[in-house]
Structure 1
Amino acid sequence: MRFFSDNAAAAHPKVIEAIVESNRMDTAYDGDAWSARLDGAFSDLFETEVRAFWVTTGTAANCLALAALCPPYRSILCHSDAHIEVDEAGAPGFFTGGAKLMLLDGAGAKLAPDEVGAACDRIRPDVHQVQPGALSITNATEYGLVYTAAEVAALGRLAKERGLAFHMDGARFANALASTGESPADVTWRAGVDALSFGFIKNGGLNAEALILFRTELADEIAVRRKRAGHLLSKGRMMAAQILALLDDGLWLENARASNAAARILAEAAPGRLSYPVEANEIFLKVTGLEAAALRAAGYDFYDWGPGEIRLVTSWDQPGEAVEQLAAAIRAL
């Protein structure tokens, strides 16, 4: 009956099995057999050579990437509701050593090239103002909207024209691709993305996320920064093992399809209440305080999301019966 966050979902049984299998002597840190397979596995997935690093949190993946992409004396363009602004406790500034976040607007937490370009134009090209160094977007966004490959490519072209590095926060990257059916390559490096934070914890992982570098020359810097930030675990094989288990036979995408399907059931129960289209696994509903209280009294758990709005998030392991019951409860409001 819990719909407050996919962060609380169970780890997939195959992930647990993989961790158990890796629970034996091997080389420490990232020199083990499992970690050695990551570059190849992700290179196959993205149809190009990449470098892949495991880290323990999405915040670490985002901020390590941004630290390598943006110098401390420049700024990172992002949406005002971006996770790196709202939910990471100043970590981007901490990891980058001082890079500023420049906040932009856009419906559903999506950025458009015109807005990004206009923001760059407002900055005087002199030493008195912080010059932009990187662009960061979230796919799917903090309001559950999905960037298509064409939309990412438009931003990628602008980033290249303006000399900006391009980062994608993919905490729900699997849900985004499950929604559009587009290829991982088309939505990332072919569209100009330099680095991706590939989320696994929300989608069946236990405690491992992946930082994917399409600019492979940054790998040595990331390796040092990961160690310096305290994210080089001695038993890294257990991180790599769970990521490989989710990549195996497309389990990561299968899990995302399940959570997206559950979200569609809830969306269909409340067409007049949706604050945003439901394109991934987040649903934002307009309800009164009394209606929210009624849902909680019936046993449903979710976040309030500002006055008159709640957020529901479905997970890969959401029981179908609970989803159908909540849909019925929403219809009955």
Structure 2
Amino acid sequence: MNFQSDNTSIVAPQVIEAILNANHESVPSYGHDAATEETKQKFNQIFERDVDVFFTSTGTAANGLALASLCPTYGAIFAHEEAHIITDEANAIEGFTGGAKIIPIAGKQGKIDPTGLEQRIQAWKNHRPHAPLPAVLSLTQVTEAGTVYTIDEIKALSKIAKANGLYVHMDGARFANALVSLGETPAAMTWKAGVDALSFGGTKNGAMAAEAVVFFNRDLSKNADYVHKRMGQLFSKMRFFSCQFLALFQGDLWLRHAYNANQIATQVTEILQRCEGVKLLYPIDANEVFVIMPDSLANHLRTEGITFYDWGLPGENQYRFVVSFNTHSSAIESLKIACKANLEAEYSLKAI
């Protein structure tokens, strides 16, 4: 049973079907096809306003396109110190922006501390022109700790950003998981809370390789088409990417996928907490579970074929379990059996 990442999951059958259905005839290239136009209109409906949408094949490309459109080459992007754009994108953002600097901000449970953000912005502003120009605030939703910013938290951080002339970007690789966790609308969690551009995740939620950059502030996307092209993300056969979102939006499949993952993550948490020596690192808001657990339990679970991700530094015994959109109840049963067997073995050893 694989709990390593939601990137390891299969492609949703509905997405595969949509790709096959898009393969029956020749259509205009570079996004001038009916499926891509329909998908863009669907984004307008979902977000309750006209938006500009650009499709990419990876989350890193989506973040790069969004931030390169929001930030000048001499600008600074403020993000949590554990944000994906800092730790897991090989300086791609610095490359795509032509040299912008990412400023790490501390904060508990993966969330940016508002006071720390204000202080860092002022420090950089007061050192003009020697320091980079504060230009963008990037929020990760769901955070790298598996937690979810509330609407009020997004609004509070956006208010600080806007008061200082910064744009707001949201890295929404797990956007759907955050949305169903809060029970909010896409509009409420983004532009109504001050977000200017969103990296909208599809791959972790059942797509094959499909992400989207959604611009709510359309003044910022005037030249995004050039950035899109230069990044190698203007696909000639765009319909095979855009149709994946149409499949996910049909019947709110994207939300049902996220709901399933979140619900099963809660069950994973309950099972792990019954094991001796297991401690939760962060609240369980979405589809990720971070724990500290003994070597004996970690080794036993892996022996039983249950895989998960090492987290933190070596020796800290920190692990991450991620539930995918298609994780079945049978996986929960396997985890339960493995944990029970480990518990019985531990008691037997103590008795000896």
In the superposition, the TM-score normalised over structure 2's length comes to 0.92
Equivalents in 2 of 1:330, 1:144: separation in Å?
23
Deviates more, 1:37-46 or 1:248-257: 37-46
Aligned positions of 1:53-92 closer than 5 A? 53-92=54-93
Q: Name the counterpart of 1:25.
A: 26
Paired-residue identity, %: 44
Equivalents in 2 of 1:284, 1:163: separation in Å?
35
Equivalents in 2 of 1:252, 1:151: separation in Å?
24
Q: Name the counterpart of 2:6.
A: 6
Equivalents in 2 of 1:155, 1:330: separation in Å?
41
Asked whether the 8 Å contact 2:105–2:113 carries over to 1, the reply is no
Equivalents in 2 of 1:126, 1:156: separation in Å?
22
Asked whether the 8 Å contact 1:265–1:327 carries over to 2, the reply is no
Asked whether the 8 Å contact 1:265–1:324 carries over to 2, the reply is no
2:217 is equivalent to residue 215 of structure 1: yes
Choose which of 310, 329, 349 in structure 2 pairs with 1:304.
Answer: 310
Asked whether the 8 Å contact 2:14–2:247 carries over to 1, the reply is yes
2:50 is equivalent to residue 49 of structure 1: yes
Q: Name the counterpart of 1:190.
A: 192
- The superposition leaves residues 15-72 of structure 1 with CA deviations (integer Å, 9 ceiling, x where unpaired) of 1111011112101111111111232111110111111111100001111100010101
Q: Name the counterpart of 1:99.
A: 100
Aligned positions of 1:308-323 closer than 5 A? 308-323=317-332
Equivalents in 2 of 1:121, 1:330: separation in Å?
50
- Structure 1: gaps of 5 or more residues: none
Equivalents in 1 of 2:221, 2:130: separation in Å?
32
2:257 is equivalent to residue 251 of structure 1: no
Task: Give the match's secondary structure for 1:169.
Answer: strand
Amino acid aligned to 1:246? L
- The superposition leaves residues 183-221 of structure 1 with CA deviations (integer Å, 9 ceiling, x where unpaired) of 111110001100000101000100111110001123331
Asked whether the 8 Å contact 1:269–1:328 carries over to 2, the reply is no
Task: Give the match's secondary structure for 2:223.
Answer: helix
Q: Name the counterpart of 1:326.
A: 335
Asked whether the 8 Å contact 1:282–1:314 carries over to 2, the reply is yes
In the alignment of these two chains, the number of paired residues is 333
Equivalents in 1 of 2:320, 2:335: separation in Å?
13
Equivalents in 1 of 2:318, 2:113: separation in Å?
25
- The superposition leaves residues 119-165 of structure 1 with CA deviations (integer Å, 9 ceiling, x where unpaired) of 11222242122221100010000111001111111111111101001
Equivalents in 2 of 1:264, 1:328: separation in Å?
17
Aligned positions of 1:92-241 closer than 5 A? 92-123=93-124, 124-241=126-243
Q: Name the counterpart of 2:16.
A: 16
- The superposition leaves residues 207-259 of structure 1 with CA deviations (integer Å, 9 ceiling, x where unpaired) of 11111000112333111111111111111101010111101121100000001
Task: Give the match's secondary structure for 2:79.
Answer: strand
Asked whether the 8 Å contact 1:79–1:109 carries over to 2, the reply is yes
Q: Name the counterpart of 1:288.
A: 294
Asked whether the 8 Å contact 2:76–2:101 carries over to 1, the reply is yes
Cα-Cα RMSD: 1.2
Deviates more, 1:219-228 or 1:279-288: 219-228
Amino acid aligned to 1:68? S
Equivalents in 2 of 1:250, 1:112: separation in Å?
34
Asked whether the 8 Å contact 1:38–1:52 carries over to 2, the reply is no
Asked whether the 8 Å contact 2:69–2:221 carries over to 1, the reply is no
Structure 1 position 8, deviation (Å): 1.1
Following TM superposition, the consecutive aligned residue runs of length 4 or more in structure 1 with deviations greater than 6 angstroms are none
Equivalents in 1 of 2:221, 2:123: separation in Å?
33
Equivalents in 2 of 1:113, 1:244: separation in Å?
37
Q: Name the counterpart of 2:349.
A: none
Equivalents in 1 of 2:40, 2:310: separation in Å?
40
Q: Name the counterpart of 2:346.
A: none
In the superposition, the TM-score normalised over structure 1's length comes to 0.97
Asked whether the 8 Å contact 1:104–1:111 carries over to 2, the reply is yes
- The superposition leaves residues 86-120 of structure 1 with CA deviations (integer Å, 9 ceiling, x where unpaired) of 10000000000000000011112111322210111
